[in-house]
Structure 1
């Protein structure tokens, strides 16, 4: 789709659409670059305040994934004012504002349109030193892959729509989705991470596929080491997954090599879409322990070494049990 856009020739553009990275980066001075991203989506939980907080955390995550510091945001909201009371919109915005305040980000404006269903997100601007950008294109063979949140958000929120998710499971999922990736980003910067991406709409395998393609490498994953919200397994066995799982699997095709021991539900989980997922970090093996220790010290939802980067010119991802 993006191929129809004009080729970018401005030398100040450091990162654009060519590597499917999490944000665009534009140099404004020798020691300063702007990092910009926009993200919004329809309501995935029933509580409007929680929806606002999750959407804000999700939008900020793209900036954190680049090793940057978010500064300002512009709200984007679509709302069916003839169908829902305005108090619902206020609660969505309040959830987003509180999460932005937690992140020390200032919401300086925004835009609202009338829509058929609630949609909310933020256009975020951050800053980073041009020499300290962490893109998805720097992974090196031998790097350890570390994940900072458990999987299962897409499956659980899909289950909610058909009344298959308990209050306890939803509470756990909301807590994970509303957690900022700020502490994880700070830890990976200190550890000298080679590459990073956040795990969102293309699922773990989809975003890892973008990283391996951009970096010119392959990867190996171990399913038993991947953190997953426990209730997700039973839901996946029931076939409760979003449409994103099948699309990711079809898109990557033969680039993903599944070991025979990997069960069908595990394949669905690692391919399924996530909302406000964790950071997937590629770090040198001799920095793995310090990164994991820092993540655990910061109480990130997960701090799991789930695989490694391999030398593979075909950019394949080998998934074993």
Structure 2
């Protein structure tokens, strides 16, 4: 096996979307006592807790604008660039849009890592941008104590095809397009416990573009959508429930999970982000086993799309998935809010 002369994860205190500030702290940061004049053109902004900002262009289309960046989740520089780019572009797909342009965000410890390693990060980014059909057109870089990389991405969407995380309706079935567990595998890697076959599974998952989102944007049966990243499935599902005024039932046995995750949980490969997530929203969740908590609150990097599909749209939705080579089953459903937990896990 080829050795990697500079193992990037050794130069950072966090990994991937596990670096995200916890939902509870983020709420405090975003809160402002100052009232600003609203922009009538802004269809989606900070108040929505959605995946990207959306601006009405006045011609039936809208501009999607987003940014995402983090510290290395893998040792290889080229793969780091690929993962960070797929993760950033995902926010456009999560809104039902088509990405059109990207610029890079690079922080680099120039006293610790040579510039040719950063060049490999950018090459990985260009490869994913090319796969998405867009150009990496520029960017900005700074000297930084730890390596940081990501993209700012613009996309386009027809306004009548825009998908948000706050527009679900009661009775929607829930689907997830990637298996959970990337955070656990990343923690195992930092501890030197990750088996090569599982490293490949994690890499394939994190570099797979969520292009399905553009297709889902064209489907009337898709009522709400978001991507599952650093807050874990429960965190992003909580945002969907609260934004839509609903609660959720998750059927745990139907949740897609990477097969080897129990092996690593037995070795206590639990990301710090899992504990931060649970501290932020655990009070909203019904009773869980430890295993269920470690899976459902696991911080994902470049995770899958969480899709809420109306009851009468599930047949068409599953058919379209099969045409794209996916075979998914519903992992649960949405229902009116009650006095009980926001999310119940069965």
TM over 0.5: yes
* Selected match of 1:280 from 285, 289, 306: 306
Deviations 1:156-191 (CA, angstroms, capped at 9, x unpaired)? 111100011111101110001100001244145335
Q: Which residue of 2 aligns with 1:212?
A: 241
Mean CA deviation greater in 91-100 or 286-295: 286-295
Q: Which residue of 2 aligns with 1:176?
A: 205
* Selected match of 2:88 from 28, 40, 59: 59
* Selected match of 1:18 from 42, 47, 55: 47
The reply on whether 1:34 has 2:59 as its aligned counterpart is no
Deviations 1:254-308 (CA, angstroms, capped at 9, x unpaired)? 31112xxx531121110110000000000012222322232233235x6331100
- Equivalent residues of 1:223, 1:319 under 8 A apart: yes
The alignment's C-alpha RMSD in Å is: 1.6
Mean CA deviation greater in 211-220 or 79-88: 79-88
State how far apart, in whole Å, the 1-side matches of 2:35 and 2:79 are.
Answer: 39
Tell me the matched-pair count: 316
- Normalised by the length of structure 1, the TM-score is 0.94
- Normalised by the length of structure 2, the TM-score is 0.87
The reply on whether 1:3 has 2:31 as its aligned counterpart is yes
Q: Which residue of 2 aligns with 1:319?
A: 345
- Structure 1 runs not aligned, ≥5 long: none
* Selected match of 1:86 from 115, 126, 147: 115
State how far apart, in whole Å, the 2-side matches of 1:230 and 1:48 are.
Answer: 27
- CA 1:10–1:61 in structure 2 vs 1: closer, same or farther (change >3 Å)? same
SS of 2:133's equivalent? coil
- Equivalent residues of 2:162, 2:217 under 8 A apart: no
The reply on whether 1:149 has 2:178 as its aligned counterpart is yes
* Selected match of 1:133 from 162, 168, 176: 162
What aligned pairs does 1:148-167 form with structure 2 within 5 A after superposition?
148-167=177-196
Deviations 1:183-227 (CA, angstroms, capped at 9, x unpaired)? 244145335310001000100000000000100000000111011
SS of 2:90's equivalent? helix
Q: Which residue of 2 aligns with 1:198?
A: 227
